[in-house]
């Protein structure tokens, strides 16, 4: 998992960054996004809804080879909401509470059994979780963030306790100057399509009032321009995925109890403020890396990956509406 993107008008972005309120308003939503599957600008969202589509791609490199005659397309719907409460009068400590639901659907029936009867890969996967982010300003220049994401990641077939999971992260931000903030930490995330513990590096850089670089490596890297108060333009590299437990009895009969789905995308972002604090976002481009697989989590090492689809890279499109704080 690796899950943060930027979209602030140049007037607001300069004020947030140069003012001390940057550390109490901007960064916690950044961290919320790190665990979510939303584009970078989700860091200041109060409510967001998104649709994304991945084009059909061949499975020529699938393992086992009998899968290679198939094609794979997919779409996803995501909805999120959050709010923030301050824990002290100075605003040095706060708690951001959020929730998110994501629905992923494959476009084709893909038989994963090598002999009759045909058993198909899961067509649908869901996650629903809470986002809890505690922020504590340690000094003028240093801020601590701790996040937890308890939730259910499942095909919603015969849901049991092990369909629930806790992901999370912690890092410290260092505000080096009014233009640059750097941070280091670690996360337990399934954004790669597999649950992993990974180091993370955070950077926010403002080049004047009309340009920003926003990154949480290896989750996202975004270059954002603000030509006017209403328009935001940029280029985004985004890793987005999750690992889901499979309760389908037919798949379980083949010892398949885990489904991974992830994509690294690259392309331009356009956002337009058409109402007060309300944005329409459009994003498109091409995938750079992809993962779609079925596994047996009772095994270890590469032996647990029973079906690896290895879809070819393809085009993607993402659009949504966001209400900002």
User: Phi then psi for 251, rounded to 5 degrees?
Assistant: -70, -40
Q: Which structural domain, as residue segments, surrounds residue 169?
A: 10-324
Average pLDDT, the chain: 89
268-315 per-position pLDDT tens digit: 999 999 999 999 999 999 999 999 999 999 999 999 999 999 999 999
Q: Is residue 278 part of a domain?
A: yes
Residue 38 confidence (pLDDT) above 70: no
* 38 contacts 51 by C-beta, under 8 angstroms: no
- Cα gap 32→182, rounded to integer Å: 17
Q: Is residue 4 part of a domain?
A: no
- The dihedral region occupied by 138, where left means phi > 0, alpha psi between -120 and 50, and beta the remainder, is alpha
Can you give the pLDDT at residue 41? 43
Percent of the chain beyond pLDDT 70? Answer: 86
Can you give the pLDDT at residue 32? 53
Q: Is residue 5 part of a domain?
A: no
Can you give the pLDDT at residue 90? 87
Q: Is residue 75 part of a domain?
A: yes
152-208 per-position pLDDT tens digit: 999 999 999 999 999 999 999 999 999 999 999 999 999 999 999 999 999 999 998
What predicted TM-score, i.e. pTM, was given to this entire model?
0.86
31 falls in which pLDDT band (50, 70, 90)? low
Q: Is residue 57 part of a domain?
A: yes
CATH assignment of the domain containing 129: 2.40.160
Q: Is residue 216 part of a domain?
A: yes
164-174 per-position pLDDT tens digit: 999 999 999 99
Residue 14 confidence (pLDDT) above 60: no
Can you give the pLDDT at residue 13? 40
Can you give the pLDDT at residue 273? 96
67 falls in which pLDDT band (50, 70, 90)? very high
- Joined together, the tokens standing for residue 137 give 């300003």
Number of domains the chain is built from: 1
Q: Is residue 60 part of a domain?
A: yes
Residue 130 confidence (pLDDT) above 70: yes
Q: Is residue 156 part of a domain?
A: yes
Can you give the pLDDT at residue 299? 95
Give the residue from 238, 235, 230 showing the smallest Cα distance to 271. 230
3-class secondary structure for the chain? CCCCCCCCCHHHHHHHHHCCCHHHHHHHHHHHHHHCCCCHHHHHEEEEEEEEEEEEEECCCCECHHHHHCEEEEEEEEEEEEEEEECCCCCCEEEEEEEEEEEEEECCCCECCCCCCCCECCCEEEEEEEEEEEEEECCCCEEEEEEEEEEEEECCCCCCHHHEEEEEEEEEEEECCCCEEEEEEEEEECCCCCCEEEEEEEEEEECCCCEEEEEEECCEEEEEECCCCCEEEEEEEEEEEEEEECCCHHHHCCCCCEEEEEEEEEEEEEEEEEECCEEEEEEEEEEEEEEEEEECCCCCHHHHEEEECCCCCCEEEEEEEEEEC
325 falls in which pLDDT band (50, 70, 90)? confident
91 falls in which pLDDT band (50, 70, 90)? confident
């Amino acid at each position: 998992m690796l899950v943060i993107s930027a979209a602030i008008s140049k007037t607001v972005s300069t004020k947030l960054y140069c003012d001390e309120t940057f550390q109490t308003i901007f960064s916690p939503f950044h961290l919320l996004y790190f665990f979510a599957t939303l584009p970078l600008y989700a860091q200041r969202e109060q409510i967001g809804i998104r649709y994304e589509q991945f084009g059909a791609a061949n499975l020529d490199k699938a393992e086992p080879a009998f899968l290679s005659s198939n094609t794979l397309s997919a779409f996803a719907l995501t909805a999120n909401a959050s709010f923030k409460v301050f824990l002290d009068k100075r605003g040095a400590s706060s708690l951001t509470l959020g929730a998110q639901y994501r629905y992923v659907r494959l476009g084709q029936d893909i038989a994963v059994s090598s002999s009759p009867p045909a058993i198909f890969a899961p067509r649908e996967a869901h996650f629903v979780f809470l986002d809890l982010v505690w922020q504590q300003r340690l000094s003028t220049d240093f801020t601590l963030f701790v996040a937890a994401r308890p939730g259910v990641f499942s095909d919603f077939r015969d849901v049991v306790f092990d369909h629930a999971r806790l992901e999370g992260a912690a890092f410290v931000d260092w505000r080096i100057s009014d233009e640059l903030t750097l941070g280091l930490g670690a996360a337990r995330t399934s954004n790669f399509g597999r649950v992993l513990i990974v180091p993370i590096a955070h950077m926010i850089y403002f080049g004047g009032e009309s340009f920003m670089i926003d990154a949480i490596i290896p989750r996202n890297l975004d270059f954002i321009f603000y030509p006017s108060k209403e328009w935001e333009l940029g280029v985004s590299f985004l890793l987005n995925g999750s690992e889901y437990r499979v309760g389908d009895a037919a798949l379980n009969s083949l010892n398949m109890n885990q489904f991974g789905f992830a994509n690294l995308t690259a392309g331009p972002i356009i956002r337009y403020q058409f109402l007060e604090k309300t944005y329409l976002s459009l994003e498109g481009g091409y995938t750079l890396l992809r993962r779609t697989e079925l596994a047996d989590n009772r095994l270890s090492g590469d032996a647990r990956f029973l079906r690896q689809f290895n879809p070819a890279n393809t085009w993607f499109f993402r659009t949504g509406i966001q209400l900002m704080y």
